[in-house]
Amino acid sequence: MRYVQLRAFHHVAICGGFSRAAEELRLTQPAISDQVRKLEEEYDVLLFNRHKKQVSLTPSGERLLEITRRMFDNEQQALELLSESRALRAGTLRIVADSAHHLLHILARFREKYPGVRISIRAGNTQTVIESLFRYDADIGVLGEVPEAREFETLHLNATAISAFVAADHPLAGRASFTFADLAGLPLVMREEGSKTRRKLEEGAAAAGYALVPAIEAEGREAVREIVASGAGVGFVSAAEFGEDPRLVLIPIEGAEAMRMDEALICLRERRGGKLVHAFFEIARRLATAR
């Protein structure tokens, strides 16, 4: 049994004749007749009653039509699901980001153009983002550093220095800046191992001859923010991710010019042609160019 034979049978049955089926499939009538004949001969079954130029389904043909209706309906649904118009009208785009802040302007424009697309955003550090992309649990990631691996398609979003922050009522809130020597003697609230912000901060301090040891280690940027807002210590963040929070005060770190966080949009290179991924990257690329 071949696909072309079932397709020929199905169209003859729903079109009511070989000529109309040939027109629908843009084939010649002899080609359609030959496919149906081969199907009948191969399985020794009569699917159509042929009387002069009229055709009608036999009982076997009627049962087969019930099956091919479901078969070709499923095929059409699969085609719609995979087609661009369908994906951009009713698809789901999954994003894992170390900070959604870098996506806000892109998300607004994307939602404006593709309002039917559902967007799922999860938080994660660099390690989580990479693992999610490789497991196909996410379509797009946002990282605090541009990866060098060939497997990825990347788009640079921005680069900002790492700064410290404290609660607005903290005794050190009025400081103009911190040195690494200052920070080494303060209670520090740092993110979990695997955080790119933490790694870059520790590398910068080590280059200056200091070791930064966290008094409190918390998983996720929001957890660090809430702990610092309570007055428990000094936190760290990329300046672009600080946002606006009246409870907190951002304080620059002296000598932190080399500790810049490069934020990048990233996807697996093999999936860059996906309709939703491609559309999101195109909007991000246009916005980056316009800046």
Q: pLDDT tens digit string along 78-87?
A: 775 666 666 6
192-233 pLDDT tens trace: 887 878 888 999 999 999 999 999 999 888 899 999 999 999
Residue 291's pLDDT is what? Answer: 62
Mean pLDDT value of segment 156-170: 90
Beta-bridge partners for 191: 218
Statement to judge: residues 177 and 91 lie in one domain: no
- How many domains does the chain divide into? 3
Considering 48, 82, 116, which residue would you say is the last residue of a domain?
82
Mean pLDDT value of segment 243-254: 92
Statement to judge: residues 78 and 107 lie in one domain: no
Structure tokens at 99: 């900070």
Residue 159's pLDDT band, with cuts at 50, 70 and 90, is confident
Coil vs helix vs strand at 53? coil
**How many CB atoms lie under 10 A from the CB of residue 201?**
25
CA distance 288 to 191: 29
pTM confidence score? 0.53
Beta-bridge partners for 48: 57
Type of residue found at 241 = E
Type of residue found at 73 = D
117-132 pLDDT tens trace: 999 999 888 888 888 8
Statement to judge: residues 172 and 247 lie in one domain: yes
> End-to-end distance of the chain based on CA atoms, in angstroms?
58
Residue 80's pLDDT is what? Answer: 58
**pLDDT at 52 exceeding the cut of 80:** no
Residue 8's pLDDT is what? Answer: 94
Which residues in 8-18 are b (16+ Cβ under 10 Å) and which e? bbbbbbebebb
Coil vs helix vs strand at 137? coil
Considering 66, 82, 98, which residue would you say is the last residue of a domain?
82
DSSP state of 101: G
Residue 67's pLDDT is what? Answer: 93
Statement to judge: residues 281 and 141 lie in one domain: yes
Average pLDDT, the chain: 88
Residue 238's pLDDT is what? Answer: 83
31-41 pLDDT tens trace: 999 999 999 99
**pLDDT at 30 exceeding the cut of 90:** yes
Statement to judge: residues 134 and 274 lie in one domain: yes
